[in-house]
């Protein structure tokens, strides 16, 4: 069992479900072949007859605690632990359906002092009571939000960390569930990746961007801007609406300005509506 992940379980599931006679002997199947000592290698392929598939199914079920033909069990790690030996294969990750928030939280959640944040299950947030959301790309900028020279009209906003993996999915679910009256403002890095993040988010009504000056532009990183060519290509094809002029300005300067530099230099932030 050691070293096998959900990708290994999924590979066995596909073999059994589709009754494959052979699979490509890639790294995943090399590890499975070494682990179960089943299948006949021949060149780039690992061959299985019906007997070998049945034996693999039985051995995997004995070891994993669930029938691999049925696939990885649904549920959280706690729920999967009741059926499987390795609870880490659970499809629902610990951060799924959670968001990291601060600022003005809707009742009955408690008010938070500056510098404090709360990891909250989505079901505990009354989305109908949220008037404004500021979604922040980077965790340290989320932590330092109170120190940014933000527009005063953003006072009273729910501040949300965009996050990665489960937290990012939770943030997206939160935005999708907000009422039409809620205004969503996205605060990213000033670069193609940041703008692409904002453009792809549901309900993003405005960008929070820095007032550019020579000192701030001098901190910009041209190499980082150039490396974001995939995001730049996406933006060329995207309907940016009111952000189109900002994209043209960003291309003209061709530098990536990080949120941390905006804070360090005291850059004033401004809202740019999408429509």
**Spatial distance between the Cα atoms of 191 and 193, rounded to a whole number of angstroms:** 6
pLDDT above 60: residue 2: no
Question: Does residue 193 surpass a pLDDT of 90?
Answer: yes
pLDDT at 17 over 70: yes
- Cα 135–269–265 angle (5° rounding)? 110
Two tokens at 128?
């109908």
By the 8 A CB rule, do 56 and 48 touch?
yes
Which is more confidently placed, 263 or 97? 263
Dump pLDDT digits (tens) for 167-181. Answer: 888 999 999 999 999
pTM of whole model > 0.75? no
How confident is the model over 229-246, as a mean pLDDT? 96
pLDDT value at residue 122: 93
In DSSP terms, 186 is beta-bridged to 135, 207
Which ranges of 181-228 does DSSP label H, i.e. alpha helix? 192-200, 214-219, 222-227
- Domain edges within the chain: 6-89, 98-273
Report which of residues 151 and 1 the model is more confident about.
151
H helices, E strands: number in the chain: 12, 10
Q: In this model, does residue 92 exceed pLDDT 90?
A: no
Judge whether residue 91 has pLDDT over 70.
no
Can you tell me the distance from the alpha carbon of 28 to that of 132, in angstroms, rounded to the nearest whole number?
46
Q: For residue 203, what are the CA distances in angstroms to 63, 181, 207, 222?
A: 46, 10, 12, 30
pLDDT tens digit string along 54-64? Answer: 999 999 988 88
CATH architecture of the domain 98-273 equals: 3-Layer(aba) Sandwich (3.40)
pLDDT category, 1, cuts 50, 70, 90? very low
Distance CA 263, CA 148 (A): 6
């Amino acid at each position: 069992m050691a070293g096998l992940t959900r990708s290994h379980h999924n590979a066995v599931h596909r073999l059994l479900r589709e009754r494959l006679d052979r699979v490509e002997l890639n790294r995943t199947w090399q590890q499975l072949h070494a682990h179960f000592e089943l299948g006949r290698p021949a060149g780039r392929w690992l061959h299985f007859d019906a007997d070998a598939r049945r034996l693999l199914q039985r051995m995997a079920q004995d070891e994993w605690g669930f029938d691999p033909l049925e696939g990885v069990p649904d549920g959280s790690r706690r729920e999967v632990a009741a059926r499987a030996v390795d609870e880490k294969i659970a499809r629902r990750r610990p951060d799924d359906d959670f968001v990291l928030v601060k600022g003005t939280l809707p009742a009955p959640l408690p008010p938070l002092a500056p510098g404090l944040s709360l990891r909250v299950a989505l079901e505990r947030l009354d989305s109908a009571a949220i008037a404004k959301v500021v979604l922040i790309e980077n965790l340290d900028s989320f932590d330092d939000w109170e120190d940014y020279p933000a527009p005063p009209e953003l006072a009273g906003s729910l501040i949300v960390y965009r996050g990665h993996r489960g937290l990012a999915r939770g943030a997206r679910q939160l935005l999708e569930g907000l009422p039409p009256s809620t205004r969503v403002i996205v605060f990213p890095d000033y670069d193609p990746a940041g703008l692409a993040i904002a453009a792809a988010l549901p309900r993003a009504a405005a960008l929070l961007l820095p007032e550019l000056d020579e000192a701030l532009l001098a901190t910009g990183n041209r190499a980082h801007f150039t490396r974001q060519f995939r995001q730049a290509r996406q933006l060329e094809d995207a309907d940016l609406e009111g952000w189109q002029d900002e994209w043209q300005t960003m291309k003209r300067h061709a530098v990536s300005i990080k949120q941390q530099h905006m804070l360090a230099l005291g850059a004033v932030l401004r809202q740019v509506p999408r429509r």
